[in-house]
Homo-oligomer: A and B are copies of this chain.
């Protein structure tokens, strides 16, 4: 048994699977993947290293090669092969041979960590300095460093070797070593440093933990060199391997493969057109005694082409990344953004996403870097996937696109739409909903919900003629919604009309907005100084009843059903009744035809928690008056608040509810409006004109439904969602309670709301610093983005952190700590 671990002696950044990985871009770095095992990855690494060391323009001063996982060791050592062969090739490969001289060579032996009595206490870090005699110029030294990190004796797949030899290497450990290797500077002096990481086996061969090669290194998303297969069947395995890399979001710079007289390279080239360079190497001698000198010599021009192609790939990549801020300022029009307030250098260039993290392009400490940034907005509250779900979804997206593309929906059925409907009705709609109406986003789902509610109300209250065939113009009748101040339901006009006036609804924004509702002031809830407080609105303080308790030790007591008989319940009910009666007295032709609320938390209104007792009393009162009840669960649905539907927290059910955002696992837009059978029935007749005539081109598109299918199941399954407390079907505490209490006690914090995946912090600010337009939080926001690598986007003075239902709790705590530290510094 043998296992080698490099770099242990140095200080290591903690690496967690939930975090991304930093990648310096000043050092061109490529990963060598294989279409299969035994296709010559190491030969390519060696040939490339030689071509790089030999290159003058631009001059390469060092090549650092890493083999993270090696089996068959010590008989096989790819690092040693590259180390031994690359310098020898310098002479062979150069078209104008130059004098080379070995300056120094060393093999470093570190003590390995205690890994059991059988483990050897040695590991390998090979480094060589070679002096180059340029024609008539000064001698130039170049460094070649080749390392093996983990090694096993048996020449099998690392996962088997690790199992059989009893030595595992976790993904975090391997990634930690890779990240440290990537971050190392200055192996050589002057000139460029290049790095080459060689994977083990084929693209989808398991690593030591069983994680596939392509998944193991995904957080780095190094540009790939794919070593293809030139044999019979090699076109297929090369293309499939290429597709496996695409399905992980890799960019394949170059495919290089042995030419075995089957012209596989030519076919691949024509097949992939502009997607990748394709290079063919001379046939590799099969005689094991051949030292390959001739082959390398014959191949040197191909390796030079490889080097050129990688150089060009790298410089184009940097060029693109560098131009994106400027171009974005020139061409794009961002939503909710005052372009004058966004300096070009504050635009975030997002190169990719890996689970909860953006990989953002930044200049940090004068180095071009890709830096992981925790997406604390969950990209507008949509994100649920961790990095595993993201890859699973990618596969499903490819499948759904290939199987269905998009197929239109009315009078038709396809499996993803049907199965997703079943899941919705058995999940968030359980116990009340029987129909699913698909649309594109929260806003359209709300417009549809309103149309449903209005029809149901009109029928129930005799507003429509008895016979549906003799429908008269009812334009003198005004249907309005009952809703809460601070509400938000989307940006299309119909959704807007159902919300109270706000910054979003001004004449400047939407001259057609009139606010077709009766908007009540709700009592709100928040934590300050470790206590949960209820704040009563001004309008309620005039009521004769008293509210009773307004302080609670924790949210558990706030949600407790026994409060139904409290004096607060009486207060709320009398307030509601009073408002409804005032409304009905004011006009005969106006009707409150729907109640619409965001259960428990008002999102865009500023992450306000409404007293759930108030909403429960309100819902009951509306139900008793046959006013259809709509829950806008676009934000709160799918575990956002720790339970699948926020109606579980409220303890009451709607007639209609809207879902979107997290529903698709945060990957493509899709929305669903769920309704009871009674609501559905109110659209039935023998005329097409009474049908619900609202549709969008991509209604129930197969991609969205497929994603929903996957994501909803994933969240519900304790084997994939490790945060799930399956017995109680709720999420474990994600935001550490002690830290939240600390936060709530800071002097510059006005209130904290922490529930499920959400932790919102309102900063204290006065006057013009308060409200949506406030820039009060911007310096804090910039610090968190720039220094702490947390991507926050405030709602006025409210800073919030939001994770996914499956985000590991330690990752949440890390982010929360950073915010706490910043806020302490601000004091």
Contacts and interface: CB of A to CB of B under 8 A. Distances in A.
Given A249-B401, A333-B435, 7 more contacts: A201-B235, A212-B271, A379-B406, A405-B666, A442-B697, A477-B511, A511-B593
Contact of A698 (B263, B382, B395, B418): B382
A75 interface: no
A398 B405 contact: no
A402 B249 contact: yes
B398 A394 contact: yes
B443 A413 contact: no
Interface stretch (A52-60, A127-135, A383-391): A383-391
Contacts of A157: 232, 235, 262
A398 B497 CA distance: 38
A210 B239 CA distance: 13
A694 interface: yes
A773 B327 CA distance: 49
Interface stretch (A18-26, A340-348, A521-529, A573-581): A340-348
Best-buried of A35, A210, A243, A690 by chain B (most CB within 10 Å): A243
Given A243-B240, A405-B353, A444-B441, A410 B335 contact: yes
Contacts of A406: 353, 379, 382-383, 666-668
30 contacts: A34-B233, A157-B235, A202-B233, A205-B233, A210-B270, A210-B271, A213-B236, A236-B241, A237-B240, A237-B241, A240-B244, A249-B401, A249-B402, A327-B413, A331-B434, A334-B409, A334-B410, A335-B409, A335-B692, A336-B410, A338-B688, A339-B680, A350-B404, A393-B405, A444-B444, A444-B491, A451-B510, A464-B508, A471-B508, A668-B668
A362 interface: no
A482 B399 CA distance: 45
Nearest to A399: B246
A683 B495 CA distance: 23
Contact of A684 (B233, B339, B440): B339
Interface in A153-184: 155-157, 159-160
A100 interface: no
Contacts of A479: 511-512
Contacts of A325: 413
Interface in A423-468: 425, 434-444, 447, 451, 454-455, 458, 464
Contacts of A704: 668-669
A97 interface: no
Contact of A694 (B320, B451, B491, B507): B491
A691 B240 contact: no
Contacts of A375: 407-408
Interface in A244-283: 244, 246-249, 262-263, 267, 270-271
Interface in A40-67: none
Interface in A345-364: 346-353, 358
Given A157-B235, A660-B697, A398 B246 contact: yes
A160 B703 contact: no
Nearest to A334: B410
A758 to B, nearest CB: 15
Nearest to A39: B233
Contacts of A398: 243, 246-247, 394-395, 397-398, 401
Contacts of A86: none
Contacts of A503: 689, 693
B412 A347 contact: yes
A668 B700 CA distance: 10
A561 to B, nearest CB: 31
Interface in A635-667: 660-661, 666-667
